[in-house]
Amino acid sequence: MQNFVVMLCGPHEHDHEVSPQFHRIELALHVARRDQSELLICGDARNGLDVALFVEHVGRAGYVATPVFNEVGSTITDVRAALAYIGCHTPRISSGTVRVVTDDWHMERALTMVRGEASQYLDDGQGYVFRPITAVGGVPPARWQLEREAQGIQDYRSGRYAPNKSLSWGKPH
């Protein structure tokens, strides 16, 4: 049995700056240590700067994290990159738990996508269970972000989901 903690970097609470918020990574680190899981840090709207910052933060705490960076920078590509990593780095017949760590308001969309994409990246024999671990404590999202989260879930479930690259910064998309 192999367990993973997948932390999805959240949106940037401070426009155009690397996030000073560590509530997600601290929670992910705690869960990874507790469960002796491999920690994957995924996603970033800052061309890898947040991922690098969080990997370094985890290293200073005496743990190792694997950066899983996808330059497209959307929730769906982050999810796909994490699942592809798990699929490529575990035996064909394997099982375990994947704990997904992200902000409470982003969890439903992230977990919907993780569960929906899993069969594309994990063999049928890989019986992973996906569990949400919600982080609280960041800057509350704007109303438009919550509306986009809800729309993203609807679009994903209906097969119409496409990341919106028209935003000049951050997530969600």
Q: What is the pLDDT of residues 72-90, one digit of tens each?
A: 778 898 999 999 999 888 8
3-state secondary structure of 47: coil
CB atoms closer than 10 angstroms to residue 47: 11
Q: What is the pLDDT of residue 147?
A: 93
**Dihedral of the alpha carbons of 8, 146, 152, 98, in degrees to the nearest 10:** 30
3-state helix, strand, coil in the chain (%, to 5): 40, 20, 40
Q: What is the pLDDT of residues 152-172, one digit of tens each?
A: 999 999 998 876 544 333 343
Q: What is the pLDDT of residue 49?
A: 81
- The three-point CA angle 68-73-75 to 5° equals 85
Q: What is the pLDDT of residues 50-70, one digit of tens each?
A: 888 899 999 999 999 999 977
Q: What is the pLDDT of residue 137?
A: 78
Q: What is the pLDDT of residues 86-141, one digit of tens each?
A: 988 887 667 889 999 998 999 999 999 999 999 888 876 568 899 999 988 777 88
Q: What is the pLDDT of residue 136?
A: 84
Amino acid at 29: L
The larger pLDDT score, comparing residue 116 to residue 12, is at 116
Rg of the chain (C-alpha set): 15
Task: Answer for the pair 2, 85: CB distance below 8 angstroms, yes or no.
Answer: no
**All structural domains of the chain with their residue ranges:** 24-158
